[in-house]
Structure 1
Amino acid sequence: MADQHKKIHPVHEEDVEAQRSPPPTLPFLPKDSSRSDHDKVPRRTFPVHHSKPPKKRSTRSCLCKCFCWTLSLLLILIIAIAITLGILYLAFQPKLPKYSVDRMQITQFNLNDSNLQATFNVSITAINPNKRIGIYYRGGSHISVWYTDTKLCEGSIPKFYQGHQNTTLLNLPLTGQTQNATALANSLQQQMEQTGNVPLNLRVDQPVRIKLGQLKLMEVKFLVRCRLVVDSLSGADNAIKIQDSSCKFRFKL
Structure 2
Amino acid sequence: MYTFLLQSNSIPNEILSLHHMSMASLWCLLISVIVAFGVSFGFTVLILWLVFITHKIKFNVTDATLTQFNFTNNDTQLQYNLGIYFTIRNPNERVGIYYDTIEATAMYKDQNFDTRLLTPFYQTPKTTSLLRGRFEGQRAVVIGNNKVSELNSEKLAGVYSIDVKFRLSLRLKFGIYKIIRVRPKVECGFQVPLNFTGTSSFPWFQDAIGCHVDY
Task: Give the TM bin, normalised by the shorter chain.
Answer: 0.5 to 0.7
Give the TM-score of the pair, scaled to structure 1.
Answer: 0.55
Q: Distance in 2 between matches of 1:108 and 1:225?
A: 23
Q: Percent identity?
A: 23
In our comparison, the structure showing a higher alpha carbon Rg is 1
Q: Distance in 2 between matches of 1:180 and 1:83?
A: 47
Equivalent residue, structure 2, for 1:88: 47
Pick from 76, 85, 99 the counterpart of residue 123 of structure 1.
85
1:51-70 aligned at under 5 Å gives the runs: none
Unaligned runs of 5+ in 2: 1-38
Q: Distance in 1 between matches of 2:154 and 2:176?
A: 52
Task: State whether residues 100 and 246 of structure 1, in contact with CA within 8 Å, keep that contact through their aligned partners in structure 2.
Answer: yes
Q: Distance in 2 between matches of 1:133 and 1:196?
A: 43
Equivalent residue, structure 2, for 1:188: 151
Q: Distance in 1 between matches of 2:68 and 2:159?
A: 19
Deviation of the 1:168 alpha carbon: 0.6
Q: What SS does structure 1 have at the residue aligned with 2:43?
A: helix
Deviation of the 1:219 alpha carbon: 2.5
Equivalent residue, structure 2, for 1:101: 61
Q: Distance in 2 between matches of 1:85 and 1:179?
A: 49
Q: Distance in 1 between matches of 2:211 and 2:173?
A: 24
Task: State whether residues 72 and 78 of structure 2, in contact with CA within 8 Å, keep that contact through their aligned partners in structure 1.
Answer: yes
Equivalent residue, structure 2, for 1:222: 184
Equivalent residue, structure 2, for 1:135: 97
> CA, structure 1 residues 219+89, in 2 after alignment: closer, same or farther (shift >3 Å)?
closer
The answer to whether 1:200 aligns with 2:159 is: no
As a proportion of its length, which structure holds more strand? 2
Deviation of the 1:209 alpha carbon: 0.7
Q: Distance in 2 between matches of 1:86 and 1:210?
A: 10
Cα shift readout 1:159-218 (whole Å, capped 9, x = no counterpart): 11001111110011123422266888875223455x885332210001111111111114
Residue type of the partner of 1:247?
C
> CA, structure 1 residues 108+190, in 2 after alignment: closer, same or farther (shift >3 Å)?
closer
Give the number of equivalent residue pairs: 169
As a proportion of its length, which structure holds more helix? 2
The answer to whether 1:157 aligns with 2:118 is: yes
Pick from 124, 131, 146 the counterpart of residue 107 of structure 2.
146
Task: State whether residues 225 and 249 of structure 1, in contact with CA within 8 Å, keep that contact through their aligned partners in structure 2.
Answer: yes
The answer to whether 1:248 aligns with 2:212 is: yes
> CA, structure 1 residues 128+220, in 2 after alignment: closer, same or farther (shift >3 Å)?
same
Residue type of the partner of 1:168?
S
Q: Distance in 1 between matches of 2:149 and 2:138?
A: 17
Q: What SS does structure 2 have at the residue aligned with 1:130?
A: coil
Task: State whether residues 99 and 168 of structure 2, in contact with CA within 8 Å, keep that contact through their aligned partners in structure 1.
Answer: yes
Q: Distance in 2 between matches of 1:236 and 1:175?
A: 14
The answer to whether 1:166 aligns with 2:130 is: no
> CA, structure 1 residues 242+207, in 2 after alignment: closer, same or farther (shift >3 Å)?
same
Instruction: Compute the RMSD of aligned alpha carbons.
Output: 3.6
Q: Distance in 2 between matches of 1:181 and 1:235?
A: 24
Cα shift readout 1:24-63 (whole Å, capped 9, x = no counterpart): xxxxxxxxxxxxxxxxxxxxxxxxxxxxxxxxxxxxxxxx
Task: State whether residues 153 and 174 of structure 1, in contact with CA within 8 Å, keep that contact through their aligned partners in structure 2.
Answer: yes
Which one has more relative contact order, counting CA pairs under 8 Å at least 6 apart? 2
